[in-house]
Amino acid sequence: MQEKLTESRRSFLTTSGKTMAGIAIASSVLGANAQKAAAYSYNTGFKYTKLDPAKVGAITYENYFKRWCASSVIAGFVEQLRDKVGGQWKDFPIDAMRWAHGGMAGWGALCGTLTGAGTVIGLCTNDTDIGEAMANDLAFYYSYTEMPNFQPQKILKTEIHDMSIAGTPVCHISVGRWMKTANESFLTDGRAERCARVAADIAMETTRMLNAWKDGTFKAKHKPLYNVVANGITSQHNCKDCHGNDIPSPETYQTLEK
Ligand code: HEC
């Protein structure tokens, strides 16, 4: 796996039509030369054992109404790992990431479910490329899967039926698209229920990835975006969502060596 990812990175750097620009941008973004951007292994001491995705989802859902998105995903894992694995999980402060709710204290940036999931991924896995690949797959899953899909055994707020496709991992846009689909405002039981179920969906997908990794069968489904190089700015290919037809060109700026 590791070899495969490293290989794809190498071939990207050597075969891209914008090789030099690519290296220059990768360098300025990563603050090092492209060589130093290679993956490396690490050990956090946090161990993982395979979990039942449905159970992780259920615990995440139940935690949501107190802990909100980021910490609820973390709770879905920690509440089981501290019993099944023990060790450092026993003292893990589930609420340490609660601030990431609402895209960081309500700022609408990255959906907190992904901050929570990424934290667990980074703690359990042991190679920077694995974490990167899982986070990338999760961003694709989050952005292009109709959600919420999770169905609680006992509904804690209210029944909802509408699903939407976020198209992005950005909290504000994701929530906004669901609100538009469901015709509900933000401060409603329906919207809270939606985010609780999305948190469960993301926790479940994360469990499936970590289980595969534990089995030695995790394989990245998606290529890295590498849009920093393609678009000249950290991004998806969704410029029109915000800029309309008036997309600014990064070529205007002197900061990118070519
Ligand atoms: C989520 C909304 C959003 C998306 C999607 C988005 N942008 Fe932006 N972008 C902004 C905002 C807001 C600014 C700040 C503009 C300002 O203050 O004038 C900005 C600024 C920029 C700038 C530098 C400032 C400027 O106005 O020249 C560039 C270059 C840029 N965007 C390019 C892109 C490209 C290329 C894409 C797609 C690959 C993209 N953006 C996607 C919201 C977005």
Q: Which of 241, 243, 246, 253 to mutate to test the pocket of ligand 1 (most atoms within 8 A of CB)?
A: 243
Burial of 232 (0-12, 13-18, 19+ CB in 10 A): buried
Atom of ligand 1 nearest to the CA of 227: 38
Residue 4 pLDDT greater than 70, yes or no:
no
More confident residue, 242 or 205: 205
pLDDT bracket for residue 37 (50, 70, 90): low
| More confident: 160 or 252 | 160
Mean pLDDT for 247-253 is: 81
Count the neighbouring beta carbons within 10 Å of the beta carbon of residue 71.
Answer: 28
- Measured between alpha carbons, how far is 224 from 219 in angstroms, rounded to an integer? 13
- By percentage, how much of the chain surpasses pLDDT 90? 74
Identify which of 170, 174, 229, 239 to mutate to test ligand 1's pocket (most ligand atoms within 8 A of the CB): 239
CA distance 162 to 194: 9
The token duo for 56 is: 């992780």
What was the pLDDT predicted at 30?
44
Q: How far is the CA of 29 from the centre of ligand 1 (A)?
A: 17
Residue nearest to atom 43 of ligand 1 (CA): 242
* 117 burial via Cβ count (<10 Å: 0-12, 13-18, 19+): buried
Specify the residue with its C-alpha closest to ligand 1, atom 33: 239
Q: Distance of CA 62 to CAs 57, 111, 207, Å?
A: 9, 18, 17
Q: Output the pLDDT for position 255.
A: 57
Categorize the per-residue pLDDT at 34 as very low, low, confident or very high, splitting at 50, 70 and 90. Answer: very low
Residue 14, both tokens: 């050597």
Between CA 243 and CA 164 the distance in angstroms is 22
CB-defined site of ligand 1, < 6 Å: 170, 231, 233, 235, 237-239, 241-243, 247-248, 250
Looking at residue 194, what is its pLDDT?
98
Mean pLDDT (whole number) for 236-258: 80
Burial class (CB in 10 A: 0-12, 13-18, 19+), 73: buried
Closest residue by Cα to atom 21, ligand 1, is: 248
The CA distance from 62 to 75, in Å, is 10
What is the maximum alpha-carbon separation in the chain?
57
Residue written as token pair 């393609």 = 230
What does each C-alpha distance from 190 to 15, 169, 226 come to in angstroms?
A: 48, 20, 36
Distance of CA 258 to the CA centre of its chain: 31
Q: What is the pLDDT of residues 99-156, one digit of tens each?
A: 999 999 999 999 999 999 999 999 999 999 999 999 999 999 999 999 999 999 999 9
